[in-house]
Amino acid sequence: MIDFKPTILIVDDMKINLSLLSEILEDSYKIKLAKSGQKALQMVAKGGVDLILLDVVMPDMDGYEVCNTLKQDETTKDIPVIFVTGNTSAEHEEKGFKLGAVDYITKPFKPTTVLSRVKNHIDLHLRQIELETISQTMKEQNEKLKRYTKLIDQYVITSSTDLEGNITHVSEAFCEISGYTKQELLGQPQNIVRHPDMPDSFFKNLWETIKENKQWQGEIKNLNKSGDFYWVKAHIAPDFKDGVKIGYTAIRQDITDKKEIERISITDGLTDIFNRRHFNETFPKVINSAKRNDEIVCFLLMDIDHFKQYNDNYGHQKGDDVLIQFAKTLKNTLQRADDIPFRLGGEEFGIVYKADSKQKALEFANKVRQNIEDMKIAHEYSSASSYVTASMGLVCEYASKIGHMDEIYKQADDLLYESKENGRNKVSTQKETK
């Protein structure tokens, strides 16, 4: 590694002075020499000079004029200038300092004085350069941080709350997706964007997690100001200051498009209720979840009576209208948030639900059956009623006794066939075994 040596420019019209000063300083510094003020300015203009020892009395251009020229130039004004002179009057010193000199060395000069004063001002100059470099670097870093912060504010959905869940900060991206202004959000509870589809149990688990100083992440359906929904994947963590928890911060990603694609993939395109694919994925999960408390799991399988005859006589468009209305009736009859309707294929529908007792499960099934007939959609070609009806098979069982879902489906299908055999527009359920 090469040791850095600062560069000193010695300016004097007397060769003896140049030689003496060079001899004193050459072991510690790189030395440049100029015998006139004009030559000195030319050399300084090329750069690389850290300090100037400048004789005051020189022909053509004296030291004061050289110093003044240097201090008027932005590129050279910060180079320290030490005057070397035989004139020790206070008037001359004051003039030099006013022009921007940092010190005086009087002739005849002592080596120790020259070395000491040069070292002090070189150290100060290099320290100033270092500080200016650090300052410039910090300024650039701050500017970069401001740009990053602005980008984050514009494109990352973030918010902070106090310990009670009241909003203390929101990004512009949060405002954009929620439809609210910052003024409308600050101080409001975070649940200002809560969607009614999200159950209390979901947020209970969320709050229990973050109150234990743990991080929580998951997918949340929110409601914007105009009443539309949007989905986010959220990561929520506690905020601490001096070791004390002061609130929570959430970072979110807009996954509305992703959730819409998911919804389409599990939704029947005609009736807008869940399809067979989602049934196959969901039913086993419902059974496994119910096993924790050994709840009663129910599966109601339905088939619209004489639907082929309806299509043949009223037309397929009317048939589609029946399927749509049938699905709406199922949804309107549901009693709990975890009651799930499905279109399983053609005119076949199903509902997966839980019940407090098998008797209540049967009562619910009959309510569904009655609501379907109460749609009062005329069907002259049905043997069961003058209106559209459905035959149903109901299986209810404690979760601990359920094996594979295919067994439940087969039982419900057999019971559905039994309802058809017994005149249709009926609910058939399994017999209790003693």
Judge residue 280's burial from the number of C-beta atoms within 10 Å of its C-beta, 0-12 exposed, 13-18 middle, 19 or more buried: middle
Nearest one of 389, 390, 430 to 410, comparing CA atoms: 430
Strand 427-429 and strand 390-398: the pairing is parallel
**In this predicted structure, what is the pLDDT of residue 15?**
93
The whole-number average pLDDT for the span 120-149 is 92
Q: Is residue 2 over pLDDT 60?
A: no
CATH of 267-429, one of 3.40.50.1370, 3.30.70.270, 3.30.450.40, 3.30.70.120: 3.30.70.270
Please tell me whether the peptide bond between 108 and the residue prior to it is cis, using omega within 30 degrees of 0: yes
pTM for the whole thing? 0.62
Nearest one of 18, 85, 6, 73 to 42, comparing CA atoms: 73
Q: pLDDT, tens digit, for every residue of 181-240? A: 999 999 999 999 999 999 898 999 999 999 999 999 999 999 999 999 999 999 999 999
Q: Which amino acid is at 149?
A: T
- Phi first, then psi: what are they for 341, rounded to 5°? -95, 150
**In this predicted structure, what is the pLDDT of residue 45?**
93
Cα-to-chain-centroid distance, residue 292? 35
Nearest one of 56, 68, 66, 79 to 8, comparing CA atoms: 79
The whole-number average pLDDT for the span 17-41 is 94
Question: Using CA atoms, how far apart are residues 325 and 343, in angstroms rounded to an integer?
Answer: 12
For residue 228, the surrounding DSSP H or E stretch is none
Mean pLDDT computed over every residue of the chain: 94
Nearest one of 33, 29, 34 to 7, comparing CA atoms: 29
Q: pLDDT, tens digit, for every residue of 281-302? A: 999 999 999 999 999 999 999 9
CATH of 156-259, one of 3.40.190.10, 3.30.450.20, 3.50.50.60, 3.30.365.10: 3.30.450.20
Question: Using CA atoms, how far apart are residues 4 and 337, in angstroms rounded to an integer?
Answer: 76
Q: Is residue 327 over pLDDT 60?
A: yes
At CB < 8 A and 24+ separation, what contacts does 140-149 make? Answer: none
Q: How confident is the model at residue 434 (pLDDT cuts 50, 70, 90)?
A: very low
**In this predicted structure, what is the pLDDT of residue 231?**
97
Q: Is residue 428 over pLDDT 50?
A: yes
Q: Percent of the chain having pLDDT more than 90?
A: 88
For residue 383, the surrounding DSSP H or E stretch is none
**In this predicted structure, what is the pLDDT of residue 432?**
65
CA distances from 277 to 268, 273, 373 (A): 10, 12, 28
Output the six-digit token pair for 109: 């000069």
Strand, helix or coil for residue 17:
helix
Write the CB contacts of 371 (distance below 8 Å, at least 6 apart in sequence).
329, 332, 333
The domain ranges of the chain are 7-132, 156-259, 267-429
Q: pLDDT, tens digit, for every residue of 329-382? A: 999 999 888 899 999 999 999 999 999 999 999 999 999 999 999 999 999 999
Fold of 7-132: Rossmann fold (3.40.50)
- First-last CA distance in the chain: 95
Question: Using CA atoms, how far apart are residues 76 and 35, in angstroms rounded to an integer?
Answer: 19
Q: Percent of the chain having pLDDT more than 70?
A: 99
